[in-house]
Amino acid sequence: GAVVSQHPSWVICKSGTSVKIECRSLDFQATTMFWYRQFPKQSLMLMATSNEGSKATYEQGVEKDKFLINHASLTLSTLTVTSAHPEDSSFYICSARVNRGRTDTQYFGPGTRLTVL
Amino acid sequence: RKEVEQDPGPFNVPEGATVAFNCTYSNSASQSFFWYRQDCRKEPKLLMSVYSSGNEDGRFTAQLNRASQYISLLIRDSKLSDSATYLCVVNGPAAGNKLTFGGGTRVLVKP
């Protein structure tokens, strides 16, 4: 399958600081990437769709000014959690969409575990 | 009603046994279906796509029933390494071609 990387894999920060998470497609170009969040014992919830060269599309209830997404190239999307608070602590996972034959498939990055103190 | 529903389990399975579980989806316009596997504190990994005719990949068999709007996953000859959470995932134009995840079914294979 396609390879997607994320950095950092985990981060601990103080409340009020901003945290930037990078998502890279390593062996393919991705015009569309997705950002998900997963709280303990819950399923993945889509936060936003990141489109190369244009603004991200946010899901209902996700604050675009708090979760800044930039998709500046075909292999890189970044998510910045601004002024993070303890309730933002979660597992953030990106994915990239690839068209493989009969259907589009999404491959996920390894995730970033954010803990806000 | 959730768009994609799964029995959360856990399904406790003796090693070597067969386990099967379903997932129901609410949007009849859904077009693509997948099973992903997620290990604890890891990202989801694609297990298999689910095709209308049903498909098999080694010990794993997936079926799609469009009339009743459910998909199933069957695992034969369970291995200890099959212990994981299995996520049912649905994709379709009504959702803007975005994936919708079920809550996952936890499977525990025991010796």
Residue from A6, A24, A44 to probe the interface with B (highest B Cβ count within 10 Å): A44
| Dihedral in degrees, nearest 10, Cα atoms B48, B50, B51, B55 | 60
Q: Indicate the residue type of B60.
A: F
pLDDT at B25: 94
Reduced to 3 states (helix: H, G, I; strand: E, B; else coil), residue A72 is strand
AA identity, residue A101: G
10 Å Cβ neighbour count for B33?
Answer: 25
Q: Please identify among residues 19-48 of chain B the ones whose CB lies closer than 8 Å to any CB of chain A.
A: 32, 34, 41-46
Residue B95 has pLDDT above 60, yes or no: no
Share of chain B above pLDDT 90, in %: 75
pLDDT tens track for B29-41 = 888 899 999 998 8
As a whole number, mean pLDDT of residues B79-89 equals: 96
Enclosing H/E stretch for A35: strand A32-38
| A32: number of Cβ within 10 Å | 19
| For range B86-108, the mean pLDDT | 84
Region B1-8 average pLDDT: 88
Residue A46 touches partner B, C-beta closer than 8 Å? yes
Residues in chain A where the model's pLDDT stays below 50:
none
The predicted structure's pLDDT at residue A58: 94
Kindly determine whether residue B99 and residue A46, on different chains, have CB atoms separated by under 8 Å.
yes
Angstrom distance (rounded) from CA A106 to CA A32: 10
Please, what is the end-to-end C-alpha distance for chain A in angstroms? 36
Strand, helix or coil at A87? Answer: helix
Contact A105, A89 (CB under 8 A): no
Out of A10-14, B2-6, B65-69, pick the least confident. Answer: B2-6
Specify the pLDDT at position A99. 72
User: Pick from B49, B97, B103: which is nearest to A43 by CB?
Assistant: B103
The two tokens of residue A28 are: 């393919």
| pLDDT tens digits, one per residue of A32-52 | 899 999 998 888 999 999 888
Give the pLDDT of residue B34: 93
CA distance A110 to B102: 19
Query: Over chain B, what is the mean pLDDT?
Result: 92
- What 3-state class would DSSP assign to A99? strand
Percent of chain B with pLDDT over 70: 94
- Read off the tokens for A79: 């998510």
A27: left (phi over 0), alpha (psi -120 to 50) or beta: alpha
